[in-house]
Every structure is written in structure tokens, then in C-alpha cells.
Amino acid sequence: MSSISLRQIKKSYAGLDILKSVDLEIEKGEFIVILGPSGCGKSTLLNVIAGLDDCDAGQIVIDGNDVIGLEPSQRGLAMVFQSYALFPAMTVRRNLSFGMKIAGTPKTLIAEKVAWVAKLLQIEPLLERKPGQLSGGQRQRVAIGRALVRSSSICLFDEPLSNLDAKLRAETRVELKQLHETLKSTMIYVTHDQIEAMTMADRVAVMYKGQVEQFAHPQSIYEKPASLFVAGFVGSPAMNFLDGRLDSEARFVMGNTKVDVSEYIFDKAPDLAETMLGVRCEDITVVNRGAPGSLPATLSFIELLGADALGWFDCLGKRFSVRLAVATARAMPKEVGLKLDIAKASLFSVATQRRL
């Protein structure tokens, strides 16, 4: 197992800043997910760590040693690519062993490692097949196996499940997490899929426009997003938002409508400037129209999701999603009130985009 410290990593292309002073401290044996939309810099950051791309400034410290300037082969890393990058003319066995042969590894040790990883990933029946004879999930296992046979203490994954169908992605997520628990190696996994991040990671680094917006446990990010971007990006459906401002009596004011926010625990001293109030769909209760402390809303439509349902409402000019029991959804009247759980809500400064 190895620790990784990223310090003030910067990278630009043609005058465009791709990475802006990225700092991350990754502990030994952690499964870290770098999450963000396309173009946020997450794959560039992974390539910089791997040595496939140079950074303009900063340090990459692995187990106390700065590896900036070292070739990828000298960094002690293994990487799994989105495209698998298997040799099409080679069998699975040769794909797994090729790198070790080039490195001059003894044949007996190569055979032992190939047998070990084939058993671990359950690809023993596939060893004499070529990549063209494998399914997408099988090719992904081989790509992971090729990384594992190097016995590296750090494994990097660049959106490895994006080419798989939904069912296979779910199955492979479980397999990767179990693999991490078995090997205890340090893993850094890049994805734009928040479900992968929430279900697999020990900690998630949410990136936006070349910066780390928040680096924390997945549940902390979901419950207490540090910025408006994180609040809107993480969660399905997205967090519901209202525009307003705080007054001196601990109320969130939207025109003539006022919501008591005295139960809210502020991370920093609130100001009375423009503010956004965000609340998750499961933290809203449907009540009778006009109930004390509720907001007036009109039902637009219901989505039945099997075990539960989503109600979509027009509330103060905004579209709100509310998670409902199926029986409740089926009997939902058109005109209702929405009661917000302020203790679980989020308040953000419009000026700074940060959590209050």
C-alpha cells in the first residue's frame, strides 16, 4: 500500500487552465473516486499522476518521494484504461504476461501471477481466448488483471465501466469493491457516474473547472455539499433549489413567502445577501394545502419507480421533486403543501457559491 500527496498541481493547454492548484492527500489503502462532469480535468489529473502527461507546477509525492520527472514505469503504478487497450492478436494469457516478460520476470513467477489473477478475477476459462472472443465485461476483467499482475501498490482506473451496459456496470462495481477489500491496495478511480462514486469510494473528490470542490466521505458530500455545484451535481434527482435571502430573524425570504430556518446549523456566519436554499427530495413532506410552515405547490406528474415514487410539483415557480410511497403517490391531490426539513437542508451564498 502507498500514500499519495498531490500538492498545487497545475496544468494548462494553449493558455487554458485545465488543473488549478489541485491538492489531495490520499492515505494508504484508500479507494478514492475523482468525480466530475466531462471537461472538469479529472482524466488529466489521473494522467498526470500516472506520468502519461506532465504538469506545469506542483508535486506528486508517493510514499514520501516526489515522482515528478519520473517515467510512468518508474512510479510503481498500474493503470486500467477506458478502452481496455488489450493486444487483439494475443490471447488473454499473453496479454496478462506480456508486461512481465518485457520486464524480464522469471517464467515461473509469471506463471504464478497469471494463475493467481485468473483465479481472483474468475477468468481461468478465458486464458486461451483472444480479446475479440470476449464480452465487454470479460475484456474489462482482463484489463484489470493485466494491471494487477504488476503487483503495484497503487492502481489507477480511468472510467473503466463506461463501455458496459447498466446491469454489467452494477455487477462490476461490486466486484471492484470486493477486489479492493481483498488486495487492500490504494486505488484512484475516475468517473462521471455519481452512483459509482457513492457506492464504491472511501472518499470522493468532486472536481469542477479544474478544481476540487469537495473531498470527503460520499455521505458527507450528499448530506452537506460544500458548494452549489456539488449540491446540484451529486444526487438523483438533483437537489431542489429556491432563490431568496436571509433576514435578521433567521428566516429565508422569497418575496412575500418566509421560511423559518432557525433549525439550520450554519458552517459560517450567515450574511443577509442573496442566498440559495437547497433540499433533497426525501427531506420534503407533502401536507395539506395551507398547513402551517408549508409552501403551496401543485402536482405536475408522478413517476412510479417500483419500490417508491417521485412526485414532481410546481412550487413558487420552481419544479420540485419529492420522494413518496407508492400508495401515497397514487392518492395524491392536485393542490398540496410542501413542508421542508430545514435541519437537513443546505444554504449557499449566491456570491461565493459556497455553503453557509
Decide which of 200, 215, 232 is a domain's last residue.
Answer: 232
- Determine the pLDDT at residue 204: 98
Total count of domains within the chain: 2
In this structure, what are the phi and psi dihedrals at residue 18, rounded to the nearest 5 degrees? -95, -40
Residue pLDDT, tens place only, 210-238 = 999 999 999 999 999 999 999 999 999 99
Pick 9 or 163 by higher pLDDT: 9
Q: Which three cell numbers stand for residue 151?
A: 503487483
Place of cell 478475477: 121
Residues 199 and 274 in one domain: no
Residues 165 and 48 in one domain: yes
- Determine the pLDDT at residue 170: 86
Q: Which of 267, 202, 200, 207 is nearest to 234 (CA)?
A: 207
Angle at 35 between CA 230 and CA 148, to 5 degrees: 160
Answer yes or no: is pLDDT of 41 > 80. Answer: yes
Residue pLDDT, tens place only, 234-289 = 999 999 999 999 998 889 999 889 999 999 999 887 777 899 999 999 999 999 99
Contact predicate 96/118, CB 8 Å: yes
**Mean pLDDT lowest among 147-151, 275-279, 313-317:** 147-151
Cα atoms in the 13 Å half-sphere on the side-chain side of 164: 23
Question: Across the chain, what does the average pLDDT equal?
Answer: 92
Expressed as residue numbers, the domain containing 320 is: 239-349
pTM for the full predicted model: 0.91
Contact predicate 149/109, CB 8 Å: no
Look at residue 172 and tell me if it is in a domain. yes
Decide which of 208, 232, 256 is a domain's last residue.
Answer: 232
Q: Could you give the angle at which helices 107-120 and 136-148 cross, rounded to 10 degrees?
A: 140
Angle at 301 between CA 298 and CA 306, to 5 degrees: 130
Q: Measure the CA–CA gap between 332 and 319, rounded to whole angstroms.
A: 17
Answer yes or no: is pLDDT of 209 > 90. Answer: yes
Residues 90 and 214 in one domain: yes
Residue pLDDT, tens place only, 69-79 = 899 888 889 88
- Determine the pLDDT at residue 212: 97
Look at residue 356 and tell me if it is in a domain. no
- Determine the pLDDT at residue 250: 86
**Mean pLDDT lowest among 237-246, 270-279, 311-320, 324-333:** 270-279
Decide which of 206, 232, 258 is a domain's last residue.
Answer: 232
Put the strands of the sheet holding 309-315 in their side by side order.
284-287, 335-340, 295-304, 309-315, 318-324
Report how far Cα 55 is from the mean position of its chain's Cα atoms.
23
**Residue 225: helix, strand or coil by DSSP?**
coil
